[in-house]
Amino acid sequence: MSGDAAGPFRLSRCAAAGGCAAKLGPADLAELLAALPAAPPDPRVLVDSATGDDAAVFRFADDALVATLDVIPPIGDEPRRFGRIAAANALSDVWAMGGEPLFALAFAALPADLPPGVAAAILAGGQEIVLGAGAALVGGHSIRDRELKYGLAVVGRVAPARLLTNAGARPSDRLVLTKPLGTGVLANAYRFDRLDAAGLEPALAAMERTNAAAARLALLHGARAATDVTGFGLAGHAWNLARESAVRLILDFDALPVHPRFFDLARAGVTTGCTNANRAHVEARLDLGRPFAPEQLELLFDPQTSGGLLLSTPADRVAALVADLLAGGQTAAVIGSVDSGLAGLTVR
Give the residue from 93, 78, 215, 70 showing the smallest Cα distance to 149.
70
On whether the CB atoms of residues 170 and 245 are closer than 8 A, the answer is yes
On whether the CB atoms of residues 331 and 178 are closer than 8 A, the answer is yes
CA distance 17 to 185: 11
Give the residue from 105, 93, 292, 319 showing the smallest Cα distance to 212.
93
Q: What is the 3-state secondary structure (H, E, C) of 49-104?
A: HHHCCCCEEEEECCEEEEEEEEEECCCCCCHHHHHHHHHHHHHHHHHHCCCEEEEE
Which among 11, 14, 17, 20 is annotated as catalytic? 20
> Which residues are 57's β-sheet partners?
47, 66
CA distance 190 to 75: 9
Is 20 in the active site?
A: yes
Chain-centre distance for alpha carbon 313: 19
Q: What are phi and psi of 122, to 5 degrees?
A: -60, -50
Give the residue from 132, 78, 73, 81 showing the smallest Cα distance to 104.
132
Helix axes 118-132, 79-96, angle to 10 degrees: 30
Chain-centre distance for alpha carbon 67: 15
> Which residues are 144's β-sheet partners?
110
CA distance 302 to 245: 23
Active site residues: 20
